[in-house]
Amino acid sequence: MVIQLEIYAPLMVARQWWKYVVGSAHYEGTGDSLEAWNESSRRYITEEPAFYIPSAGQWRGAPENSKQGSGGLVAWELGEKYTRELMEYTQLGMQKYEAALADGICAEQARLFLAAYGLYVRWYWTASLQSVAHFLNQRLEHDAQQEIQDYAKAILEIVKTLFPVATEELLARQQA
């Protein structure tokens, strides 16, 4: 079983997700193509840039005992400071991006001004149900980055609706 989903997420989430691209299948003669990952690059598709900016109450501290994941929430005042600074930084990049486009700079170079890791990107993810289960088992764990955990929860709801028995079996098998 294969599923294809359109995903819209910050680049920092997309780059973690990239680990779960196994391969691609091309069906000659049918015109159908099932690339495992097909991401919009902003070279040919015009889409208004959107950015992930955590609110003051969403900033997390570094974990005490690990290089991965995050700790608890930081003080609201500190979060407010970094939300404000990130918004200013993102707005400056947008101004420079729009100025470059207005001056005739090609989109593929103008996009260099956009704050990359918070920039939302859109892609199609085509994966076997087994591969999706592997993604879910790792990204639903407590130590996975919160932002990708939220996407994993949404993916779980979609695949449970489409393939309830297979999803339950695959998740149980991988957890055993």
User: Which residues are catalytic, by number?
Assistant: 139
Distance of CA 56 to the CA centre of its chain: 21
| Residues 10, 8: Cα–Cα separation, whole Å | 7
Residues near 174 by beta carbon (within 8 Å), at least 6 away in sequence: 133, 134, 137
- The single-letter code of the amino acid at 23 is G
Q: Are 10 and 52 in contact (CB under 8 A)?
A: yes
Radius of gyration (C-alpha) of the chain in whole angstroms: 19
